[in-house]
Structure 1
Amino acid sequence: MTYLICPGIHDRKLTESFLEGLKSENINLNKLLILPVDRYPPYSAFHIFSFLEQQLKSQTELTVISFSAGVVGAIGAASKWQQQGNSIRAFMALDGWGVPLRGDFPIYRLSHDYFTHWSSALLGGGDESFYADPPVDHLDLWRSPAQVPGWHLGKGDRSRTTAAAFLAHLLNS
């Protein structure tokens, strides 16, 4: 299993902080690829797919964790990756507001507030979702997922959790 992180357009330190937040939940991302957004635009499916082809020489199962502008390119790259005979275990979109999410693989949305959650769900809600409550700033969802409380919406139920715990639930299952 390989994990692909597709950040948005922001300081690299936010992604480092995001990964630290995941470690606090004992999430082990041992085979990790981070899209270098200084060389590949995160909103370009073509560029993300090219990056994957260069980095992964053999077929592999992939879990994609994307944020903001990274969601735009990552959903297209994930679909192309699967069309090439590879497997997408899960696709996680953090604050991919306004991005249609469709694919023949499990999709999960995380949002920094209820409005983003609700309005994004109109374009594909995903299998399970999370939204911050109380709302947080857009970048805080990525920077500090362990410190973002909210609601996990599952199959007909909802429960209080944090963004990092929600991701741990998805990644460790």
Structure 2
Amino acid sequence: MPIIICPGIHEPDLTKSFVQGCLNLTEDSCSNKNQVDILIYHGQGYLTLSTFHILHFLCDRLGAPSDRLNNKLKSPLIFLCFSAGVIGGIGAATAWQLWGGHVQAFIAIDGWGVPLGGNFPIHRLSHDHYTHWTSAYLGMGEDNFYADPAVDHLSMWHSPQSVRGKWVNPSVGFSPIKNYLSGSEFLNLLLERYNKK
């Protein structure tokens, strides 16, 4: 199952820290653990916002969605995007599905102010309660997470394993389903869920 990682506008070392600390993988060994293939989009600066460039990256790595003979296209994708990368990522996920590809889920980490919608499950992780609930009006799925106590924005990316917070599901009420799990634990629960499908 390919996981497409779309970082934000920050130092590339923060993404390496995320992959190692949260997903317990290194970039070099990503393709061998639990049949998970991690593809990291390395666009810098404003290219993180570019749906076009992310789609070009996907086509380069996986082939065009219209190529039905390509086995990589049969596998559903999970988009895992952070900050500004959420902007380009949601556009790429939507376009990929419109082209005939399959998006298993879209996970937005601190994509505050970014409208999210699509014909696939969407999850938000936020660095504080305010960001979480003000983003709800712009689209969120069933299972989401917010840090409590609040942390700074970049902590959600470079060390989600040390961020404590609450798992909430708005479809069953506003009370948290589970208090005080880490951001990393929440992400891995989602990935495990979608890896079984």
**TM-score range, shorter-chain basis?**
over 0.9
Q: Provide structure 1 residue ranges, at least 5 long, that are not aligned to the other structure.
A: none
RMSD: 1.8
**Matching residue's letter, 1:47:** H
Structure 1 segment 65-76 matched on structure 2, within 5 A = 65-76=80-91
Structure 1 segment 22-61 matched on structure 2, within 5 A = 22-24=22-24, 30-38=36-44, 41-57=47-63, 58=70, 59=73, 60-61=75-76
Q: Provide structure 2 residue ranges, at least 5 long, that are not aligned to the other structure.
A: 26-32, 64-69
Percent identity for Structure 1 against Structure 2: 48
**Matching residue's letter, 2:16:** E
**Matching residue's letter, 1:129:** N
Q: Distance in 1 between matches of 2:2 and 2:126?
A: 24
Structure 1 segment 1-173 matched on structure 2, within 5 A = 1-24=1-24, 30-38=36-44, 41-57=47-63, 58=70, 59=73, 60-154=75-169, 155-156=171-172, 157-160=176-179, 161-173=181-193
Q: Distance in 2 between matches of 1:80 and 1:130?
A: 26
Q: Distance in 1 between matches of 2:177 and 2:3?
A: 27
Cα distance change of structure 1 residues 9 and 80 upon mapping to structure 2, 3 Å threshold: same
Post-superposition Cα deviations, 1:72-103, rounded to whole Å, max 9, x if no partner, equal 00001000000111100110000000000000
Q: Distance in 2 between matches of 1:158 and 1:19?
A: 26
CA contact (8 A) 2:9 2:44 kept: no
Cα distance change of structure 1 residues 125 and 30 upon mapping to structure 2, 3 Å threshold: closer
Corresponding residue pairs, total: 172
| Structure with higher helix content | 2
**Which structure has the bigger radius of gyration?**
2
CA contact (8 A) 1:6 1:74 kept: yes
> Relative CO higher for 1 or 2, CA cutoff 8 Å, sep ≥ 6?
1
**Matching residue's letter, 1:124:** G
